[in-house]
A = this chain, B = another copy of it.
Amino acid sequence: MIIKEISNRRSVREYKPDDVTDELIIEIIKAGQFAPSAKNNQAVEFVVVRKQETKEKIFEIVGQEYVKQAPVLIIPVIDETKSILPVQDLSVASENMFLQAAALGLGTVWKNLRPEWEKGVKKLLAVPEQFRAVNIIPVGYPKNKIEPHTNADFNDKKIHREKW
């Protein structure tokens, strides 16, 4: 039941220092690559950062302790010359990655990149100019127990029948 993984995906902001194997990172990225994209452009690529030195530099740009704490950071980027909906494409790929990570017992969070941060992070990682980034995805084992979504988080008043 996929609703289990969907319910287990919670934003994680504290990570254990335990490393995450490359095999698991590849499973997460594969999930991202299997996401839909506008006119099937398949133009999302991924930068995987493990070096502490680089994570410290990213922290200097975007803040947030977990950027230094998580063993791995994944930055999905998309070639804007190939996608007409870059933000949407990066977002749906990110959600697949969040869910795959949760299914593997790993935590993630959408660390948003403001435009000025995006510029700095792209420069640091030598990402070509034509690529867009909207977030940084830390990946690691959650420090605290995950409380899954329950039916209490479901609100049927947000469903409108036929019209508003």
Contact: B95 with A48, CB < 8 Å?
Answer: no
Residues of B within 8 A of A7 (CB): 34
Contact: B100 with A85, CB < 8 Å?
Answer: no
Query: What CA separation (Å) do A161 and B33 show in the bound complex?
Result: 16
A134 at the B interface (CB under 8 A): yes
Contact of A30 among B3, B27, B44, B92 (CB under 8 A): B3
Q: In chain B, what residue has the closest Cβ to A38?
A: B112
Q: Beta-carbon contacts of A24-51 to B below 8 Å, as 1s and 0s?
A: 0011011101111010101011111111
Contact: B6 with A31, CB < 8 Å?
Answer: yes
Contact: A2 with B162, CB < 8 Å?
Answer: no
Known: A34-B153, A87-B88. A5 touches B3 (CB 8 A): no
Residues of B within 8 A of A132 (CB): none
Q: Beta-carbon contacts of A107-124 to B below 8 Å, as 1s and 0s?
A: 001101000000000001
A163 at the B interface (CB under 8 A): yes
Query: What CA separation (Å) do A1 and B27 show in the bound complex?
Result: 11
Residues of B within 8 A of A29 (CB): 158-159
